[in-house]
Amino acid sequence: MNAPHPAKVAGIDSTVPSPAHTVAPATPGASPATAPNATDAAEATAAPGAPCAPGALLQDRLAGWVSDLTTLHELTERLARRDSLSEGLQEVLRAGAALVGARRGLVVLEPADGLGPDTTVGLGLARADLGHIETVPRSALSYGRILDGLPVGADGITEPDLFAGKNLDPRHREIAARLGYAASYALPLSAEDTGTIGTTGATETTTGTTGRLGAAVWLYDEPAEPGERQRHLAGLYARYAAQHLARLLEVERTRACMATMAEELLPSRLPRVPGVQLAARHRTGPRGGGDWYDALPLPDAALGLAVGSVTGSGPSAVAAMGRLRASLRAYAVMEGEDPVAVLSDLELLLRLTEPARSATALFGYCEPALRRITLAGAGHSPPLLIGERRTEFVETSVSAPLGMLACWEAPSVEFQAEPGETVLLYTDGLLHRTGDPADRAFARLHAAAAAVPRAERHDPDAVAEHVLRTVLPDGKADADSEEDVVLLAVRFE
């Protein structure tokens, strides 16, 4: 009782095969035998002239439902594996295009609460194409009517032949002809307060984002429209997709909030001090981390340099990082010429105010006129000295992180740079993100610093960028990670 291969819709073969049984679903409260189109569907699937056996219609209908549920399960499972908002939007477009038999489409994300982010993502449409569509008056577009809150049927908005309509906006007609689409099908994306997922009967409570999220529209290359079954499946998928997108939206907002808060707790700009040039790089994880850096002018034309890391991640670690950095700045102004005293005071503060937390730190008292740095470290990786004739780690004393011992103490070291040399301070996240053992990670960092092109060594910004991209190639520097990364480059003139 298999149906023939489904016909193309708008000249496109659906990437998700239609179920072998394509009987229309029964209306609520109607028996299978009296459901709309049941007789026609039975006749379509039976051999000509053959009588319909008792129960065959019900079996055919159940087989069609199982096939539809299997398709929806595969698509929703694929969507559930997307853990970023941009990937989720792209997956919704691809799945929807497969369900309704379209080749192109776009999702307009515009949450009703006004908190953003507002964005438009296209499938088979370049950024310039999306820009052209955005020049059409909003009220003339099907998704524009959805976003404006106008009444929309349960099956969305179908425009089977745009050019046949007499009331088509002239700008819309021009853009549709330029981009080569002749029909469209739009669905709202709205998240509910709760939703029942799967067949277990368990109810999931969604995040705080409810109501309208945006709208999705798929474009046909020629006059066409999705069938009743296609609209039904697309509507079911869109309802689930909206719930998942709402969760991804909350994650995206949290990430943006954490990144903004972390950046605000770090220097908004580096100071200008005669004799040195400064540059910094900072990458934070999705939950926010506790790595920081600082460079502050001190009395007698000196400069305080600091990098550090607080254990943990999330809002508490970010807040602790801000408190520790602010305290270090105060201690540096009072007794910066003695880095050991600065870290001793910081350790005492950490032990008294946050006994359950530890931190690593590196503080240097820099005298630019003498190209000299007096340095003290607490469980932190040593700086790297990069010059024309040498690339080497600065030898520092072995010490424990702050908050690990009853009383922290470690001697300071003093070293002098040559004109044109750069001192690179960094946090352990740079090494941890490589995924290599400690010795290999240090070797990779040393090799990256030694390979800085000669033409770029006069620019600390270029040095920091080269080291970051060489130690963490293939996008690892910008990918989400639990490890923060901080680099502070100091070049002596």
Chain centroid to CA 232: 31
The token pair at 430 is 């740079």
Residue listed under structure tokens 């201690």:
331
Burial class (CB in 10 A: 0-12, 13-18, 19+), 249: buried
For residue 315, is the peptide bond before it cis, meaning its omega torsion is within 30 degrees of 0? Answer: no
Q: Can you give the pLDDT at residue 52?
A: 56
pLDDT higher than 90, residue 281: yes
Q: Pick the closest to residue 340 from 396, 266, 394 (CA basis).
A: 396
CA 248 to each of CA 141, 156, 255, 398: distance values in angstroms, whole numbers, following the listed order: 26, 23, 10, 44
Chain centroid to CA 352: 37
Instruction: Tell me which of 165 and 326 has the higher pLDDT.
Output: 326
The token pair at 373 is 């740095």
pLDDT digits (tens, 9 = 90+) for 434-482: 999 999 999 999 999 999 999 999 999 999 999 999 999 988 888 878 8
Q: Are 370 and 345 in contact (CB under 8 A)?
A: no
Most confident of 79-83, 165-169, 276-280: 276-280
The SS3 call for residue 50 is coil
Q: Can you give the pLDDT at residue 264?
A: 80
Q: Can you give the pLDDT at residue 6?
A: 42
Q: Can you give the pLDDT at residue 362?
A: 95
Tell me the average pLDDT across 79-108. Answer: 94
Tell me the average pLDDT across 194-214. Answer: 52
The SS3 call for residue 134 is helix
Instruction: Tell me which of 330 and 288 has the higher pLDDT.
Output: 330
Instruction: Tell me which of 118 and 48 has the higher pLDDT.
Output: 118
Q: Which residues contact 206 (CB under 8 A, 6 or more apart)?
A: 191, 192, 193, 194, 195, 243, 246, 247
Q: What angle do CA 493, 391, 310 make, to 5 degrees?
A: 85
pLDDT higher than 60, residue 2: no
pLDDT digits (tens, 9 = 90+) for 472-482: 998 888 887 88
Q: Can you give the pLDDT at residue 200?
A: 36
Q: Can you give the pLDDT at residue 54?
A: 58
Q: Can you give the pLDDT at residue 53?
A: 63
Tell me the average pLDDT across 100-110. Answer: 95
pLDDT higher than 80, residue 17: no
Tell me the average pLDDT across 145-155. Answer: 85
Average pLDDT of the residues of the chain = 84
Q: Can you give the pLDDT at residue 309?
A: 94
**Which ranges of 293-365 would DSSP assign to H, the alpha helix?**
315-335, 339-353
pLDDT higher than 50, residue 36: no
Q: Can you give the pLDDT at residue 198?
A: 40
pLDDT digits (tens, 9 = 90+) for 366-402: 999 999 999 999 999 999 999 999 999 998 887 889 9
Chain centroid to CA 320: 25
pTM of structure:
0.63
Tell me the average pLDDT across 486-493. Answer: 96
Q: How far apart are CA 27 and CA 35, in angstroms?
A: 6
Percent above pLDDT 70 for the chain: 85
Which segment of 6-15, 115-124, 320-329, 380-389 scores lowest on mean pLDDT? 6-15
Tell me the average pLDDT across 45-59. Answer: 60
Q: How far apart are CA 401 and CA 324, in angstroms?
A: 14
Percent above pLDDT 90 for the chain: 63
Q: Can you give the pLDDT at residue 403?
A: 87
Confidence band for 28, pLDDT divided at 50, 70 and 90: very low
Q: Which residues contact 263 (CB under 8 A, 6 or more apart)?
A: 282, 284
Instruction: Tell me which of 149 and 9 has the higher pLDDT.
Output: 149
Q: Can you give the pLDDT at residue 66?
A: 85
* DSSP structure string for 75-119: HHHHHHT--SHHHHHHHHHHHHHHHHT-SEEEEEE--TTS----E
The token pair at 160 is 């089977």
Q: How far apart are CA 394 and CA 373, in angstroms?
A: 11
pLDDT higher than 70, residue 11: no
pLDDT higher than 80, residue 45: no
Q: Can you give the pLDDT at residue 44?
A: 41
* DSSP structure string for 223-272: S----HHHHHHHHHHHHHHHHHHHHHHHHHHHHHHHHHHHHHTS-SS---
Q: Can you give the pLDDT at residue 51?
A: 54
Q: How far apart are CA 323 and CA 60, in angstroms?
A: 68
**Residue 175: enclosing H or E segment and its boundaries?**
helix 170-179
CA 77 to each of CA 109, 151, 240: distance values in angstroms, whole numbers, following the listed order: 22, 31, 11
The token pair at 75 is 């698509």
Q: Can you give the pLDDT at residue 207?
A: 43
Domains of the chain: 54-257 (3.30.450.40), 265-492 (3.60.40.10)
Instruction: Tell me which of 44 and 373 has the higher pLDDT.
Output: 373
Confidence band for 37, pLDDT divided at 50, 70 and 90: very low
pLDDT digits (tens, 9 = 90+) for 338-360: 999 999 999 999 988 888 899 99
Tell me the average pLDDT across 413-420. Answer: 95
Q: Can you give the pLDDT at residue 20?
A: 40
